[in-house]
């Protein structure tokens, strides 16, 4: 404690300086309480995911707590084109292939996301998602997503904005594939 007070004084402490040192010993009860908290590595994966890149650590903790973890071996079908599902997936570890009508159109790696449209709108999948490697996915359901947005306005604004930006880029990319009618500007 004396060393802590001395450091505070050396760094310009101007008023009465008080220090309190507490030593905790790990017990089974303490371990049980911390197991319900989100894993820091899951929060780091969410931080690298473009949907949550502007979230604070506290906001990431809320998202991580709302997610559940799904581990799958290579070759596992996560969902099929035409399935009904209301979940978004964030790849924590591994690689996922997305196919539509049998054609691969994307491979999603660590901290990438897919299935985000189900958070907003349609429960019908427009692609098939297959684990290429062993994968660990953070899964956010439609209901949990809406609860998070309803309960935390700042989180709602940040995530909604990022989701709109992501969808706008996807729409622009799709529009480039549509042939332009001669004489008309799009």
Least confident of 43-57, 125-139, 169-183: 169-183
**Using one digit for the tens of pLDDT, what is the confidence trace for 76-103?**
999 999 998 889 999 999 999 999 999 9
DSSP 111-151: T-EE-GGGGTS--B-SSEEEESS-EEEEEEEHHHHHHHHHH
What is the model's pLDDT at position 97?
Answer: 97
Contact yes or no for 86/143 (Cβ under 8 A): yes
- Angle, helices 40-48 vs 57-66, to 10°: value is 110
Max alpha carbon distance in the chain (Å)? 81
């Amino acid at each position: 404690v004396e060393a802590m007070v001395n450091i505070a004084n050396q760094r310009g402490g101007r008023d009465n300086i008080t220090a309190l040192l507490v030593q905790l010993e790990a017990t089974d009860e303490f371990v049980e309480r911390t197991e319900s908290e989100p894993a820091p590595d899951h929060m780091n994966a969410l931080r690298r995911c473009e949907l949550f890149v502007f979230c604070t650590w506290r906001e990431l903790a809320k998202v991580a707590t709302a997610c559940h973890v799904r581990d799958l071996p290579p070759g596992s079908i996560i969902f099929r084109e035409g399935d009904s599902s209301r979940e978004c997936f964030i790849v924590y570890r591994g690689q996922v292939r997305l196919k539509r009508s049998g054609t691969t159109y994307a491979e999603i790696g660590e901290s990438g996301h897919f299935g985000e449209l189900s958070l907003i709108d349609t429960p019908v999948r427009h692609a098939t998602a297959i684990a290429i490697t062993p994968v660990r996915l953070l899964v956010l359901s439609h209901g949990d997503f809406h609860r998070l947005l309803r309960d935390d306005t700042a989180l709602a604004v940040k995530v909604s904005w990022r989701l709109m930006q992501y969808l706008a880029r996807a729409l622009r990319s799709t529009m480039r594939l549509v042939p332009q009618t001669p004489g008309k500007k799009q």
